[in-house]
């Protein structure tokens, strides 16, 4: 996960916040998270300082203000709030403090900060306030920030809710500034700057919050601008808000709005654009979207073609027989039509020279519940295309008890292709018993992280009871497998499993 994520692994915002807290606790740094740091950085920073101090960690003397604001003792936190220069983000965190004196002083300080510097405070703290609103005492800060932004939105003139670029001194574009359509400085510019910053905020929840405020503002949203934002938005839920506004706004039937939606990256936005073609009188264009990469868009395109009196199934058969080579998405669309007469056509595509087409044909046959010989699917486990090997393994899952486990075990060699090894491991895990345990132990040191993690989880989940293997393995083999995987268990866990096998602990 990248540094803007909410995970706990290396490189996440939470890991960054904990690392900054450790540096401050060790006296190796005198700074707190940067002013533009995400909300999860601040939350992890505060939690790490307090938990380490609770655990007996001595704070540096004199302790920086940021450490005192996160101190486990309430009277120290309360005293730190009286000192000038407290980071507004840590003040926000303390508005949800369990100690009433700390909480009340932090809320009073936040009120003063909002009155003195409303624009800077709203831009910096809104993403954090949305996180804090989930806490048991977080209703105050969430309601306070919602009210502040809604009051500004209600007082603004109708143009604000979709702020555009303006011209700064010297003819350059000033980020976050607001102008009217003729380039004049617009009233309520501070409001526009706050909303503009939140609409482009890297935090997903803050963007959703800002979009809801923007679309609830006075006036009607510009359909084309909403469509552009929907197409550029990486978050599906936020993009859905922009899409609904684009299709509900005046001028939504115009070609430009629909074309922008159709060109979006998120499938749901493209599907909305394809569906809107009908009311725009452009239903004939549905044919060009039958082979979209998204199943949702393909379904909307089939509906659109049907509404226009066309035959989507016939178009798919023509696309699959294209001399230039079929698209794998056209093959998937043909299978989605659910016609029994297409089974033989899909079988023929299993031998197509292009890997994604072979994979789409296999997926289509599985979708149709068509019978494919085990020998054919077993041969495709060694296919050079990873997607083909994956689809072959999925097709073999119902027949896993009929397969030769030694044939699959031979494909677990770490020197072989990764996708072949993963396909064989999937089937052996589905078979269960000693064959699954042997495969998992063989892969506990695999170089591929996901394969290694899956194998180790399977080994740890095993009960190591001889009776569960139905005579497929003796105690000696189980003891050898346990010895190979002993590093995965602590002393108690290893001893417990040894005792289940009747071995000395």
Q: Which two tokens stand for residue 363?
A: 């997926």
Length of the chain: 505
> Which phi-psi region, left, alpha or beta, contains residue 59 (left: φ > 0; alpha: ψ -120 to 50)?
beta
Q: What is the per-residue pLDDT for 273?
A: 95
pLDDT in tens, 34-86: 877 889 999 999 998 888 877 667 777 677 888 888 888 899 899 999 988 88
Q: Between 118-132 and 100-116, two packed helices, what is the crossing angle to 10 degrees?
A: 140
Print burial letters for 434-458: b (CB count within 10 Å at least 16), e (below 16): bbbbbbbbbbbebeeeebeebbbeb
To the nearest whole number, what is the mean pLDDT of the chain?
85
Q: What is the per-residue pLDDT for 163?
A: 44
Q: How far apart are the first and last CA of the chain?
A: 41
Q: Which of 157-171, 380-394, 406-420 has the lowest mean pLDDT?
A: 157-171
Residue whose entry in the numeric block shows the structure tokens 């909307």: 300
Let me know: does 214 contact 199? Beta carbons within 8 Å.
yes
Q: What is the per-residue pLDDT for 152?
A: 64
Q: Is the pLDDT of residue 99 over 70?
A: yes
Question: Residues 119-128: what's their mean pLDDT?
Answer: 89
Q: Which two tokens stand for residue 345?
A: 């056509």
DSSP 174-220: ETT--B-TTSPBPTTHHHHHHHHHHHT-S-HHHHHHHHHHHHTSSS-
The span from the CA of 387 to the CA of 292, in Å, is 18
The span from the CA of 430 to the CA of 483, in Å, is 24
Q: Between 267-276 and 236-248, two packed helices, what is the crossing angle to 10 degrees?
A: 20
Q: How confident is the model at residue 24 (pLDDT cuts 50, 70, 90)?
A: confident
Let me know: does 446 contact 425? Beta carbons within 8 Å.
no
Q: How confident is the model at residue 1 (pLDDT cuts 50, 70, 90)?
A: very low
Of the two residues 13 and 377, the one the predictor is more confident about is 377
Let me know: does 324 contact 309? Beta carbons within 8 Å.
no
The span from the CA of 153 to the CA of 220, in Å, is 13
DSSP 167: E
Whole-structure pTM value: 0.80
Let me know: does 87 contact 66? Beta carbons within 8 Å.
yes
Q: What is the per-residue pLDDT for 218?
A: 65
Going by C-alpha positions, the residue among 94, 54, 55 that lies closest to residue 77 is 94
Q: What is the per-residue pLDDT for 505?
A: 67
pLDDT in tens, 140-199: 999 999 888 877 666 554 433 444 433 333 333 333 344 433 343 333 455 567 777 888
| Peptide bond connecting 62 to the previous residue in cis, omega within 30 degrees of 0 | yes
Q: Is the pLDDT of residue 325 over 50?
A: yes
Q: Which SS3 state, helix, strand or coil, does residue 151 take?
A: helix
The sign one gets for the Cα dihedral 334, 336, 342, 348 is positive
Of the two residues 473 and 166, the one the predictor is more confident about is 473
Could you give the C-alpha distances from 504 to 77, 152, 273, 315, 473, in angstroms and in order? 54, 74, 68, 70, 19
pLDDT in tens, 215-261: 876 666 788 889 999 999 999 999 999 999 999 877 777 789 999 99
Question: Residues 345-373: what's their mean pLDDT?
Answer: 94
Q: Which two tokens stand for residue 214?
A: 């923007």
Let me know: does 240 contact 267? Beta carbons within 8 Å.
no
pLDDT in tens, 336-351: 998 889 999 999 999 9
Q: What is the per-residue pLDDT for 84?
A: 85
Let me know: does 84 contact 61? Beta carbons within 8 Å.
no
Q: Is the pLDDT of residue 126 over 80?
A: yes
Could you give the C-alpha distances from 331 to 295, 317, 328, 358, in angstroms and in order? 11, 9, 5, 9
Q: What is the per-residue pLDDT for 63?
A: 78
Q: Is the pLDDT of residue 403 over 50?
A: yes
Going by C-alpha positions, the residue among 154, 151, 128 that lies closest to residue 141 is 128
């Amino acid at each position: 996960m990248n540094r803007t994520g909410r995970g706990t692994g290396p490189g996440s915002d939470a890991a960054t916040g904990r690392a900054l807290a450790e540096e401050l606790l060790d006296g190796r740094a005198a700074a707190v998270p940067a002013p533009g740091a995400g909300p999860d950085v601040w939350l992890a920073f505060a939690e790490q300082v307090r938990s380490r101090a609770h655990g007996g960690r001595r704070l540096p003397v004199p302790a920086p203000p940021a450490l005192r604001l996160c101190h486990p003792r309430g009277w120290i936190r309360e005293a730190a709030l009286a000192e000038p220069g407290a980071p507004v983000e840590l003040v926000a965190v303390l508005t949800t403090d369990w100690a009433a004196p700390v909480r009340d002083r932090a809320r009073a300080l936040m009120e003063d900060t909002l009155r003195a510097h409303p624009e800077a405070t709203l831009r910096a703290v809104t993403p954090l306030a949305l996180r804090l609103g989930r806490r048991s005492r977080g209703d105050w800060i969430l309601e306070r920030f919602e009210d502040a932004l809604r009051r500004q939105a209600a007082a603004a003139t109708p143009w604000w809710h979709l702020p555009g670029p303006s011209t700064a001194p010297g003819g350059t574009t000033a980020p976050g500034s607001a102008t009217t359509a003729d380039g004049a400085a617009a009233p309520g510019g501070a409001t526009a700057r706050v909303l503009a910053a939140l609409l482009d905020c890297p935090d997903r929840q803050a963007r959703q919050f800002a979009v809801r405020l923007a679309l609830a503002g006075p006036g009607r949203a510009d359909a084309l601008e909403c469509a552009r934002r929907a197409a550029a938005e990486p978050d599906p839920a936020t993009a859905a808000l922009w899409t609904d506004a684009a299709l509900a706004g005046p001028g939504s039937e115009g070609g430009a709005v629909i074309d922008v939606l159709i060109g979006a990256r998120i499938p749901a936005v493209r599907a909305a654009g394809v569906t809107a073609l009908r009311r725009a009188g452009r239903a004939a264009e549905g044919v060009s979207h039958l082979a979209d990469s998204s199943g949702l868009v393909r379904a909307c395109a089939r509906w659109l073609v049907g509404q226009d009196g066309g035959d989507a199934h016939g178009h798919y058969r023509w696309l699959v027989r294209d001399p230039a080579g079929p698209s794998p998405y056209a093959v998937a669309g043909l299978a989605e039509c659910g016609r029994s007469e297409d089974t033989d056509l899909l079988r023929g595509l299993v031998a197509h020279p292009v890997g994604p087409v072979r994979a789409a044909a296999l997926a289509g046959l599985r979708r149709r519940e068509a019978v494919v010989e085990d020998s054919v699917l077993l041969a495709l486990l060694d296919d050079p295309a990873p997607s083909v090997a994956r689809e072959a393994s999925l097709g073999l899952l119902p027949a896993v008890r009929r397969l030769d486990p030694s044939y699959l075990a031979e494909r677990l060699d770490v020197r072989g292709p990764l996708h072949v090894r993963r396909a064989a491991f999937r089937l052996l895990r589905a078979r269960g018993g000693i064959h699954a345990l042997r495969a998992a132990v063989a892969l506990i040191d695999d170089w591929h992280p996901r394969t290694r993690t899956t194998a180790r989880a399977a080994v740890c989940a095993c009960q190591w009871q001889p009776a569960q293997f139905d005579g497929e393995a003796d105690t000696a083999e189980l003891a050898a497998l346990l010895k190979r995987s002993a590093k995965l268990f602590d002393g108690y866990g290893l001893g417990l499993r040894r005792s289940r096998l009747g071995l000395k602990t």
